[in-house]
Amino acid sequence: MGIWLQEEHTRGYVVNWRLHNIIHTETTRYQELAIVDTYEWGKALVLDGVVQTTEKDEFVYHEMIAHVGMMAHPCPRKVLIIGGGDGGVLREVLKHDSVTSVDLVEIDERVIENCRLYLPTIACGFSDNRANIIIEDGLKYVKNIKNRYDVVIVDSSDPVGPAVELFGDKFYRDVYAILHEDGLMVAQAESPLFFGESFAQVFGNMRATFPIAGVYLACVPTYVSGFWAFAVGSKKYHPEQPGKERKPLTGLKYYTPDIHRAAFVLPPFVRDLVR
Ligand code: SAM
């Protein structure tokens, strides 16, 4: 029957992943970490029993959390990523020629080290000389930093363990303070179907903090329910479409300007949640 990883999303909903093998496991300072080789989805990073990213479908999530905000800004140069220890968002942000530096603030260096070793196609951006890796709690970093950013992307794990306070309104105000006067912030906002409260909390924080706030969706097959939401908060630019001065990126597998616009078209049940 082989080896199976059991991912418990709720007490009533468990997903079973058939594995070729378990490549690596360890207990880091912050979480249980595993790298597994799955039958259907390639190699995957698992943190505290939750699948974070898989080789087969990671491009959907990483392109959508990175390019919607990056393309809505006319010329993003300085970018901050909170979390994102697998390197997928970093890889995508670095595809923008306008970017001069990306600070990636990850609390757990063992995530970065293991992803560089076992998930090189996702973690390839760490070797780019524009990438600055900072091992720190994102919550603390945004409080003390004097830098100013054009785009901040919060690619945190779910609101459990070290990521809990990245879903709090204080964190959003601190991010607002380190953005340029025309900056914008994107955060992964969980599943509106399964974690409606966390979703509503993330969007509520954005709307309370920024003059312009929006929600967009993408289907991430290996995340619970596949229905995944992202929230955007912006000081100046409307995020619902790429900036007209931006030339389209080539070689992407999911994001296009039409997908960007369509992602903001919300089904009534999601609109009701954000209302
Ligand atoms: N795409 C995934 C998702 O949507 O669940 C998240 C991927 S990434 C692996 C999440 C990262 O956030 C992890 O590496 C975790 O260590 C990091 N993280 C959690 N809390 C953090 C914090 N307070 N500061 C910085 N990084 C944090």
What HEC string does 155-223 produce? ECCCCCHHHHHHHCHHHHHHHHHCEEEEEEEEEECCCCCCCHHHHHHHHHHHHHHCCEEEEEEEECCCC
The two structure tokens encoding residue 219 = 């289907």
For residue 64, what pLDDT is reported? Answer: 98
Contact 111, 35 (CB under 8 A): no
Residue pair 26/147 in contact (Cβ under 8 Å)? The answer is no
- Would you tell me how many other CB atoms lie within 10 Å of the CB of residue 271? 11
Q: 125 CB less than 6 Å from ligand 1?
A: no
| 127-131, 187-191, 214-218: least confidently modelled range | 187-191
Residues 190 and 244 in one domain: yes
Looking at the fold, whether 35 and 81 belong to one and the same domain comes out as no
Q: Say whether 258 sits in a helix, a strand or coil.
A: helix
Weakest mean pLDDT among 102-111, 118-127, 145-154, 161-170 = 161-170
Tell whether ligand 1 has an atom less than 6 A from the beta carbon of residue 190: no
How confident is residue 96, by pLDDT bands cut at 50, 70 and 90? Answer: very high
Residue with the smallest CA separation from ligand 1 atom 21 is 163
Look up the domain containing 22 and give its range: 3-54
- For 135-149, the pLDDT digits (tens) are 999 999 999 888 799
Residues 215 and 128 in one domain: yes
pLDDT tens sequence across 147-179: 799 999 999 888 777 778 888 899 999 999 999
Ligand 1 mean position to 157 CA, how many Å? 4
Q: Is 155 a catalytic residue?
A: yes
- Given ligand 1 and candidates 54, 92, 156, which is best to mutate, with the most ligand atoms within 8 Å of its CB? 156
DSSP 47: E
Catalytic residue among 108, 150, 155, 174: 155
Residue 1 has pLDDT above 90, yes or no: no
Q: Is the CB of 92 under 6 A from ligand 1?
A: no
**Are residues 39 and 127 located together in one domain of the fold?**
no
Question: Which residue has the least CA distance to atom 20 on ligand 1?
Answer: 163
Q: Are residues 46 and 118 in the same domain?
A: no
- Is the Cβ atom of 106 under 6 angstroms away from ligand 1? yes
Distance 245 CA to ligand 1 centre (A): 32
Q: What confidence category does residue 198 fall into, taking pLDDT thresholds of 50, 70 and 90?
A: confident
Mean per-residue pLDDT over the chain, rounded: 95
Q: Are residues 74 and 35 in the same domain?
A: no
- pTM score, two decimals? 0.97
Nearest-atom number in ligand 1 for the CA of 155 is 6
* CATH code assigned at 43: 2.30.140.10
pLDDT of residue 2 exceeding 90: no
Predicted local distance difference test score (pLDDT) of residue 196: 87
| Ligand 1 atom at minimal distance to the Cα of residue 31 | 16
Q: Are residues 158 and 116 in the same domain?
A: yes
Q: Cα(155)–Cα(172) distance, rounded to whole angstroms?
A: 14
**Which pLDDT value is given to residue 7?**
97
What is the band of 39 on the pLDDT scale with cuts at 50, 70, 90?
A: very high
- Cα 244 to averaged position of ligand 1 atoms, centre (Å): 32
Q: 255 and 202: one domain?
A: yes
Same domain, 157 and 221: yes
107 lines ligand 1 (CB under 6 A): yes
Q: Is 136 found in the same domain as 8?
A: no
Assess whether the C-beta atom of 166 lies below 6 angstroms from ligand 1.
yes
28 and 76 belong to one structural domain: no
In terms of domains, do 142 and 7 share one?
A: no
* 205: CB partners within 8 A, 6+ apart: 167, 168, 169, 171, 172, 231
> Quick check: CB of 156 below 6 Å from ligand 1?
yes
Residues 256-267: what's their mean pLDDT? Answer: 97
Q: Report the number of distinct structural domains present in the chain.
A: 2
CATH of the domain at 184: 3.40.50.150
Q: How far is the CA of 40 from the centre of ligand 1 (A)?
A: 24
Query: Does the beta carbon of 84 lie inside 6 Å of ligand 1?
Result: yes
pLDDT tens for 240-259 read 999 998 998 999 999 999 99
Tell me the CA–centroid distance for residue 4 and ligand 1, in Å: 24
pLDDT, one tens digit per residue, over 54-86 is: 999 999 999 999 999 999 999 999 999 999 999
Q: Is 222 in the pocket of ligand 1 (CB under 6 A)?
A: no
